[in-house]
Amino acid sequence: MAVEDYVKAAQIGASVRSVAEDAVKPGAKLLDVAIEVENEIKSDGGEFAFPVNISINEIAAHYTPREGEETAFTERDVVKLDFGVHVNGFIIDQAFTVDLTGENGKLVEASRQALEDALSVMKAGANIRAVGAAIQKAIESRGFKPIENLCGHSLDEYLLHAGREIPNVAKGDYVLKEGDFFAVEPFATTGAGRVTEKSGESEIYSIVNPKPVRLPQSRSVLEYAMENFQTLPFCKRWLSEALPSKAGVELALRDLYRQEIVRDYPPLVEINKGLVSQAECTVMVEKDSVKVLG
Q: Is the pTM of this model over 0.75?
A: yes
Q: Is residue 199 part of a domain?
A: no
CA distance 175 to 44: 35
CA distance 35 to 53: 11
Spot the catalytic one: 38, 77, 93, 255.
93
217 and 93 within one domain: no
Cβ–Cβ contacts within 10 Å for residue 133, how many?
18
139 and 24 within one domain: yes
Structural domain including 22 reads 2-194+275-292
- What pLDDT was estimated at residue 51? 98
255: annotated active-site residue: no
Backbone φ and ψ for 138, nearest 5 degrees, come out as -60, -40
280: annotated active-site residue: yes
Q: Is residue 270 part of a domain?
A: no
Spot the catalytic one: 116, 161, 165, 197.
161
62: annotated active-site residue: no
pLDDT in tens, 173-221: 999 999 999 999 999 999 999 999 998 889 999 999 999 999 999 999 9
Spot the catalytic one: 47, 58, 82, 117.
82
30 and 87 within one domain: yes
182 and 53 within one domain: yes
120 and 70 within one domain: yes
11 and 155 within one domain: yes
- What pLDDT was estimated at residue 1? 54
CA-closest candidate to residue 277, choices 26, 56, 92: 56
Spot the catalytic one: 40, 185, 255, 270.
185
185: annotated active-site residue: yes
Q: Directed axis angle between helix 30-43 and helix 2-23, to 10°?
A: 150
- What pLDDT was estimated at residue 247? 87
CATH number of the domain that 143 lies in? 3.90.230.10
pLDDT in tens, 120-156: 999 999 999 999 999 999 999 999 999 999 999 999 9
153: annotated active-site residue: yes
CA distance 190 to 266: 22
Question: Which residue positions in the chain have pLDDT lower than 70?
Answer: 1
Average per-residue pLDDT in the chain? 96
User: How many structural domains compose the chain?
Assistant: 2
